[in-house]
Amino acid sequence: MDIVEKLKKSELIGRSGSGFSTGAKWEIIRNQKVDKIYIICNASEGELEVFKDEYLLKKYPKQIIDGIRVALETFPKSEAYIYLRKDLYKNLGKKLKQIIGRDKIKLFREPGGYLCGEETTLIETIERQRAEPKVKPPYPTVEGLWGKPTLVNNVETFYYINEINKNKYKKTRLICISGDIKKDNVYEVPVNWSVSKILKNTKNYPKNKFFVQVGGGACGDVRFSRELDKPMCGVGSIVIFDDEKTDPIELMRRWIKFYINENCGKCVPCREGVYRINEMLKEPEKIDWVLMRDILEVMQETSFCGLGISMPTGFLDLIEHKKLNKNRK
Protein backbone atom coordinates (compact mmCIF):
# COMPACT_ATOMS: atom_id res chain seq x y z
CA MET A 1 0.00 0.00 0.00
CA ASP A 2 1.45 3.38 -0.98
CA ILE A 3 1.64 6.28 1.48
CA VAL A 4 -1.36 8.17 0.06
CA GLU A 5 -3.57 5.12 0.55
CA LYS A 6 -2.09 4.61 4.02
CA LEU A 7 -2.94 8.19 4.93
CA LYS A 8 -6.50 7.81 3.68
CA LYS A 9 -6.96 4.55 5.53
CA SER A 10 -5.55 6.05 8.75
CA GLU A 11 -8.21 8.82 8.66
CA LEU A 12 -5.54 11.31 9.74
CA ILE A 13 -6.82 14.88 9.56
CA GLY A 14 -4.78 18.08 9.58
CA ARG A 15 -3.70 18.95 13.12
CA SER A 16 -3.62 22.70 12.57
CA GLY A 17 -7.33 22.81 13.39
CA SER A 18 -8.54 22.61 9.80
CA GLY A 19 -9.81 19.03 10.13
CA PHE A 20 -9.22 18.31 6.42
CA SER A 21 -8.29 14.78 5.41
CA THR A 22 -4.51 14.51 5.01
CA GLY A 23 -4.84 11.63 2.55
CA ALA A 24 -7.29 13.59 0.39
CA LYS A 25 -4.93 16.59 0.35
CA TRP A 26 -1.98 14.42 -0.69
CA GLU A 27 -4.10 12.81 -3.42
CA ILE A 28 -5.00 16.22 -4.85
CA ILE A 29 -1.29 17.11 -4.95
CA ARG A 30 -0.38 13.80 -6.60
CA ASN A 31 -2.97 14.33 -9.34
CA GLN A 32 -1.42 17.64 -10.43
CA LYS A 33 0.49 17.27 -13.72
CA VAL A 34 3.21 19.86 -13.14
CA ASP A 35 6.99 20.19 -13.22
CA LYS A 36 7.32 21.42 -9.63
CA ILE A 37 5.65 20.84 -6.25
CA TYR A 38 6.36 22.63 -2.98
CA ILE A 39 5.99 21.14 0.50
CA ILE A 40 5.65 23.37 3.58
CA CYS A 41 5.79 22.26 7.19
CA ASN A 42 3.89 24.94 9.07
CA ALA A 43 5.61 25.67 12.39
CA SER A 44 4.10 29.12 12.89
CA GLU A 45 2.28 28.22 16.09
CA GLY A 46 0.72 31.51 17.22
CA GLU A 47 -2.59 30.69 18.93
CA LEU A 48 -2.74 31.53 22.64
CA GLU A 49 -2.07 28.54 24.94
CA VAL A 50 -1.04 26.23 22.07
CA PHE A 51 2.46 24.77 22.33
CA LYS A 52 2.25 21.19 21.02
CA ASP A 53 4.22 21.87 17.81
CA GLU A 54 7.01 23.54 19.76
CA TYR A 55 7.05 20.50 22.06
CA LEU A 56 7.41 18.16 19.06
CA LEU A 57 10.14 20.24 17.40
CA LYS A 58 12.17 20.18 20.60
CA LYS A 59 11.60 16.52 21.46
CA TYR A 60 11.11 14.76 18.10
CA PRO A 61 12.75 16.88 15.37
CA LYS A 62 14.05 13.88 13.41
CA GLN A 63 10.62 12.27 13.23
CA ILE A 64 9.12 15.49 11.86
CA ILE A 65 11.84 15.85 9.24
CA ASP A 66 11.41 12.17 8.34
CA GLY A 67 7.72 12.94 7.74
CA ILE A 68 8.76 15.74 5.37
CA ARG A 69 11.15 13.32 3.65
CA VAL A 70 8.21 10.98 3.04
CA ALA A 71 6.49 13.82 1.16
CA LEU A 72 9.66 14.57 -0.84
CA GLU A 73 9.89 10.93 -1.86
CA THR A 74 6.18 10.77 -2.72
CA PHE A 75 6.16 13.83 -4.99
CA PRO A 76 8.90 13.90 -7.65
CA LYS A 77 10.52 17.26 -8.47
CA SER A 78 9.56 18.70 -5.10
CA GLU A 79 11.33 20.77 -2.47
CA ALA A 80 10.32 21.66 1.06
CA TYR A 81 10.30 24.47 3.57
CA ILE A 82 9.99 24.40 7.34
CA TYR A 83 8.20 27.65 8.13
CA LEU A 84 9.39 28.51 11.63
CA ARG A 85 8.05 31.01 14.14
CA LYS A 86 10.77 33.58 14.89
CA ASP A 87 11.75 32.27 18.32
CA LEU A 88 11.77 28.67 17.10
CA TYR A 89 14.03 29.64 14.20
CA LYS A 90 16.43 31.28 16.64
CA ASN A 91 16.43 28.46 19.20
CA LEU A 92 16.09 25.36 16.99
CA GLY A 93 17.32 26.40 13.55
CA LYS A 94 20.89 25.12 13.94
CA LYS A 95 19.76 21.73 15.26
CA LEU A 96 17.20 21.30 12.47
CA LYS A 97 19.78 22.16 9.79
CA GLN A 98 22.06 19.45 11.15
CA ILE A 99 19.28 16.86 10.91
CA ILE A 100 18.26 18.03 7.42
CA GLY A 101 21.76 17.67 6.02
CA ARG A 102 21.71 17.78 2.22
CA ASP A 103 17.99 17.15 1.78
CA LYS A 104 15.89 19.58 -0.27
CA ILE A 105 14.50 21.21 2.89
CA LYS A 106 14.99 24.89 3.64
CA LEU A 107 14.27 26.74 6.85
CA PHE A 108 12.22 29.92 6.55
CA ARG A 109 11.97 32.44 9.39
CA GLU A 110 8.44 33.83 9.54
CA PRO A 111 8.22 37.62 9.65
CA GLY A 112 5.99 37.46 12.74
CA GLY A 113 2.28 37.50 13.49
CA TYR A 114 -0.57 35.09 14.18
CA LEU A 115 -1.88 35.27 10.62
CA CYS A 116 1.38 33.83 9.30
CA GLY A 117 0.00 30.44 10.34
CA GLU A 118 -2.82 30.73 7.76
CA GLU A 119 -1.72 28.81 4.68
CA THR A 120 -2.19 31.51 2.05
CA THR A 121 -0.59 34.17 4.29
CA LEU A 122 2.30 31.81 4.90
CA ILE A 123 2.82 31.42 1.14
CA GLU A 124 2.58 35.19 0.61
CA THR A 125 5.36 35.83 3.13
CA ILE A 126 7.71 33.25 1.57
CA GLU A 127 7.19 35.17 -1.68
CA ARG A 128 8.09 38.37 0.23
CA GLN A 129 4.58 39.79 -0.04
CA ARG A 130 2.51 41.36 2.77
CA ALA A 131 1.36 39.06 5.56
CA GLU A 132 -2.28 38.95 4.43
CA PRO A 133 -4.56 36.06 3.45
CA LYS A 134 -5.58 35.48 -0.17
CA VAL A 135 -8.92 34.56 -1.70
CA LYS A 136 -9.62 30.82 -2.02
CA PRO A 137 -10.06 29.19 -4.50
CA PRO A 138 -7.59 28.58 -6.00
CA TYR A 139 -6.39 26.50 -3.09
CA PRO A 140 -2.67 26.00 -2.45
CA THR A 141 -2.96 22.35 -3.51
CA VAL A 142 -3.63 23.63 -7.04
CA GLU A 143 -1.92 27.04 -7.10
CA GLY A 144 0.29 27.88 -4.16
CA LEU A 145 3.91 28.95 -3.74
CA TRP A 146 5.22 30.62 -6.91
CA GLY A 147 2.02 29.49 -8.62
CA LYS A 148 2.80 25.77 -8.16
CA PRO A 149 0.80 23.11 -6.28
CA THR A 150 1.78 23.32 -2.63
CA LEU A 151 1.27 20.86 0.21
CA VAL A 152 0.91 22.63 3.56
CA ASN A 153 0.78 20.42 6.65
CA ASN A 154 1.59 21.39 10.19
CA VAL A 155 4.27 20.00 12.50
CA GLU A 156 2.06 17.48 14.28
CA THR A 157 0.64 16.25 10.97
CA PHE A 158 4.14 15.51 9.64
CA TYR A 159 5.00 13.77 12.91
CA TYR A 160 2.07 11.38 12.41
CA ILE A 161 2.77 11.00 8.68
CA ASN A 162 6.10 9.50 9.71
CA GLU A 163 4.32 7.20 12.18
CA ILE A 164 1.85 6.09 9.51
CA ASN A 165 4.65 5.45 7.02
CA LYS A 166 6.29 3.13 9.58
CA ASN A 167 2.96 1.46 10.46
CA LYS A 168 3.19 2.77 14.03
CA TYR A 169 0.21 5.12 14.12
CA LYS A 170 -2.28 4.32 16.91
CA LYS A 171 -4.90 7.01 16.14
CA THR A 172 -3.68 9.42 18.77
CA ARG A 173 -3.24 13.19 18.89
CA LEU A 174 -1.43 15.73 21.04
CA ILE A 175 -3.29 17.97 23.48
CA CYS A 176 -1.90 20.99 25.35
CA ILE A 177 -3.52 21.42 28.75
CA SER A 178 -2.97 24.71 30.53
CA GLY A 179 -4.66 27.36 32.67
CA ASP A 180 -5.76 26.91 36.28
CA ILE A 181 -3.76 23.74 36.89
CA LYS A 182 -0.45 22.98 38.62
CA LYS A 183 1.62 22.61 35.44
CA ASP A 184 1.03 23.18 31.72
CA ASN A 185 1.84 20.07 29.72
CA VAL A 186 1.38 18.17 26.45
CA TYR A 187 -0.34 14.77 26.39
CA GLU A 188 -0.86 12.14 23.69
CA VAL A 189 -4.40 10.75 23.78
CA PRO A 190 -6.74 8.76 21.51
CA VAL A 191 -8.38 10.92 18.85
CA ASN A 192 -11.93 10.00 19.93
CA TRP A 193 -11.60 10.91 23.61
CA SER A 194 -13.93 13.57 24.98
CA VAL A 195 -12.71 16.61 26.88
CA SER A 196 -13.92 15.07 30.14
CA LYS A 197 -12.10 11.80 29.50
CA ILE A 198 -8.88 13.61 28.56
CA LEU A 199 -8.93 15.68 31.74
CA LYS A 200 -9.68 12.67 33.97
CA ASN A 201 -7.09 10.38 32.38
CA THR A 202 -4.35 13.00 32.51
CA LYS A 203 -5.28 13.81 36.14
CA ASN A 204 -6.17 17.39 35.27
CA TYR A 205 -9.88 17.30 36.11
CA PRO A 206 -10.40 20.17 38.62
CA LYS A 207 -12.16 19.66 41.93
CA ASN A 208 -13.66 23.14 41.84
CA LYS A 209 -16.34 24.37 39.48
CA PHE A 210 -14.69 25.20 36.18
CA PHE A 211 -15.09 25.76 32.47
CA VAL A 212 -12.72 25.18 29.56
CA GLN A 213 -11.76 26.69 26.24
CA VAL A 214 -11.20 24.02 23.63
CA GLY A 215 -9.33 24.36 20.35
CA GLY A 216 -7.17 27.39 21.14
CA GLY A 217 -6.77 30.01 23.85
CA ALA A 218 -8.18 32.83 21.74
CA CYS A 219 -10.64 31.42 19.21
CA GLY A 220 -11.60 28.13 20.88
CA ASP A 221 -15.07 27.05 22.04
CA VAL A 222 -15.97 27.77 25.67
CA ARG A 223 -17.56 24.75 27.34
CA PHE A 224 -19.09 24.24 30.75
CA SER A 225 -19.66 20.99 32.66
CA ARG A 226 -22.62 19.70 30.66
CA GLU A 227 -20.64 19.96 27.40
CA LEU A 228 -17.44 18.17 28.41
CA ASP A 229 -18.52 14.80 27.03
CA LYS A 230 -18.33 16.13 23.48
CA PRO A 231 -15.24 15.21 21.39
CA MET A 232 -12.33 17.60 20.97
CA CYS A 233 -12.47 20.08 18.11
CA GLY A 234 -10.05 22.43 16.40
CA VAL A 235 -6.40 22.66 17.31
CA GLY A 236 -5.31 20.43 20.21
CA SER A 237 -5.59 22.52 23.34
CA ILE A 238 -7.68 22.69 26.50
CA VAL A 239 -7.45 25.77 28.72
CA ILE A 240 -8.98 25.35 32.19
CA PHE A 241 -10.57 28.27 34.06
CA ASP A 242 -11.66 28.32 37.70
CA ASP A 243 -15.29 29.42 37.41
CA GLU A 244 -15.29 31.32 40.70
CA LYS A 245 -12.05 33.21 40.12
CA THR A 246 -12.38 34.05 36.43
CA ASP A 247 -13.86 37.44 35.59
CA PRO A 248 -15.51 37.07 32.15
CA ILE A 249 -14.83 40.72 31.29
CA GLU A 250 -11.12 40.34 32.06
CA LEU A 251 -11.02 37.15 29.99
CA MET A 252 -12.64 38.95 27.05
CA ARG A 253 -10.12 41.76 27.44
CA ARG A 254 -7.32 39.22 27.21
CA TRP A 255 -8.76 37.83 24.00
CA ILE A 256 -9.41 41.21 22.42
CA LYS A 257 -5.88 42.39 23.18
CA PHE A 258 -4.62 39.41 21.19
CA TYR A 259 -6.92 40.20 18.25
CA ILE A 260 -6.07 43.91 18.28
CA ASN A 261 -2.37 43.03 18.06
CA GLU A 262 -2.80 40.33 15.39
CA ASN A 263 -5.41 41.95 13.14
CA CYS A 264 -4.09 42.55 9.61
CA GLY A 265 -6.71 45.23 8.86
CA LYS A 266 -7.51 43.82 5.41
CA CYS A 267 -11.27 43.43 5.74
CA VAL A 268 -13.78 45.86 7.25
CA PRO A 269 -15.86 43.42 9.38
CA CYS A 270 -12.86 42.09 11.28
CA ARG A 271 -10.91 45.34 11.49
CA GLU A 272 -13.85 47.43 12.67
CA GLY A 273 -15.47 44.65 14.69
CA VAL A 274 -12.36 44.01 16.78
CA TYR A 275 -11.94 47.76 17.33
CA ARG A 276 -15.57 48.20 18.47
CA ILE A 277 -15.47 45.21 20.84
CA ASN A 278 -12.24 46.55 22.32
CA GLU A 279 -13.83 49.98 22.91
CA MET A 280 -16.91 48.44 24.51
CA LEU A 281 -14.82 46.40 26.96
CA LYS A 282 -13.12 49.55 28.26
CA GLU A 283 -16.38 50.51 29.99
CA PRO A 284 -18.06 47.22 30.96
CA GLU A 285 -20.82 48.89 32.97
CA LYS A 286 -22.04 50.56 29.76
CA ILE A 287 -21.86 47.56 27.44
CA ASP A 288 -24.82 47.05 25.14
CA TRP A 289 -24.73 43.26 25.00
CA VAL A 290 -27.28 43.04 22.19
CA LEU A 291 -25.07 45.29 20.05
CA MET A 292 -21.98 43.26 20.93
CA ARG A 293 -23.70 40.06 19.84
CA ASP A 294 -24.75 41.69 16.58
CA ILE A 295 -21.19 42.80 15.84
CA LEU A 296 -19.79 39.35 16.63
CA GLU A 297 -22.36 37.56 14.47
CA VAL A 298 -21.71 39.90 11.53
CA MET A 299 -17.99 39.16 11.87
CA GLN A 300 -18.67 35.42 11.74
CA GLU A 301 -20.73 35.77 8.59
CA THR A 302 -18.71 38.32 6.62
CA SER A 303 -15.02 38.31 7.63
CA PHE A 304 -12.49 37.50 4.93
CA CYS A 305 -10.39 34.89 6.71
CA GLY A 306 -10.40 32.50 9.64
CA LEU A 307 -9.25 35.08 12.18
CA GLY A 308 -12.40 37.18 11.86
CA ILE A 309 -14.66 34.16 11.39
CA SER A 310 -13.41 32.30 14.47
CA MET A 311 -12.73 35.30 16.75
CA PRO A 312 -16.38 35.67 17.94
CA THR A 313 -16.69 32.03 19.08
CA GLY A 314 -15.39 32.38 22.63
CA PHE A 315 -17.11 35.72 23.16
CA LEU A 316 -20.52 34.41 22.09
CA ASP A 317 -20.13 31.26 24.18
CA LEU A 318 -19.15 33.25 27.27
CA ILE A 319 -21.98 35.75 26.83
CA GLU A 320 -24.48 32.90 26.55
CA HIS A 321 -23.12 30.76 29.39
CA LYS A 322 -22.66 33.64 31.81
CA LYS A 323 -25.95 35.23 30.69
CA LEU A 324 -24.18 38.56 30.48
CA ASN A 325 -26.94 39.93 28.27
CA LYS A 326 -29.35 39.45 31.21
CA ASN A 327 -27.15 40.30 34.18
CA ARG A 328 -25.74 43.51 32.74
CA LYS A 329 -27.34 46.47 31.05
pLDDT tens per residue, range 130-163: 998 998 999 999 999 999 999 999 999 999 999 9
Indicate whether 311 and 203 sit together in one domain. Answer: no
Q: Look at residue 328 and tell me whether its pLDDT is greater than 60.
A: no
Same domain, 227 and 188: yes
Q: What is the mean pLDDT of residues 278-291?
A: 94
Model pLDDT, residue 329: 40
The mean per-residue pLDDT over the stretch 231-236 comes to 84
Query: Are 193 and 148 members of one domain?
Result: no
From 83-87, 221-225, 306-310, the region with the lowest mean pLDDT = 306-310
Are the CB atoms for 307 and 261 separated by under 8 Å? no
pLDDT of residue 256: 96
Domain boundary among 197, 223, 242: 242
Residue 127 sits in the same domain as residue 275:
no
Q: Residue 37: its pLDDT value, please? A: 97
Same domain, 282 and 225: no
Percent of residues, the chain, with pLDDT higher than 70: 98
Mean pLDDT of the chain: 93
Looking at residue 69, which CATH number applies to its domain? 3.40.50.11540
Q: How confident is the model at residue 274 (pLDDT cuts 50, 70, 90)?
A: very high
Q: What is the 3-state secondary structure (H, E, C) of the chain?
A: CCHHHHHHHHCCECCCCCCCEHHHHHHHHHCCCCCCEEEEEEECCCCCCCCHHHHHHHHCHHHHHHHHHHHHHHCCCEEEEEEECHHHHHHHHHHHHHHHCCCCEEEEECCCCHHHHCHHHHHHHHCCCCCCCCCCCCCCCCCCHHHCCEEEEEHHHHHHHHHHHCCCCCCEEEEEEEECCCCCEEEEEECCCEHHHHHHHCCCCCCCCEEEEECCCCCCEEECHHHCCCECCCCCEEEEEECCCCCHHHHHHHHHHHHHHHCCCCCHHHHHHHHHHHHHHCCHHHCCHHHHHHHHHHHHHHCCCHHHHHCHHHHHHHHHHCCHHHHCC
Q: Does the pLDDT of residue 251 top 90, yes or no? A: yes
Note whether 306 and 234 are same-domain residues. no
In total, how many domains does the chain have? 3
For residue 327, name the pLDDT band (cuts at 50, 70, 90).
Answer: very low
Whether residue 134 sits in one domain with residue 46: yes
Could you list the residue range(s) of the whole structural domain that residue 203 is in? 172-242
Q: What percent of the chain has pLDDT over 90?
A: 82
CATH number of the domain within which 277 lies: 1.20.1440.230
Specify whether 154 is located in the same domain as 77: yes
Do 190 and 138 share a domain, yes or no? no
The pLDDT of 17-37, averaged and rounded, is 92
Q: How confident is the model at residue 325 (pLDDT cuts 50, 70, 90)?
A: low
Last residue of a domain, one of 165, 197, 228: 165
Structural domain ending residue among the three candidates 242, 276, 298: 242
pTM over 0.85: yes
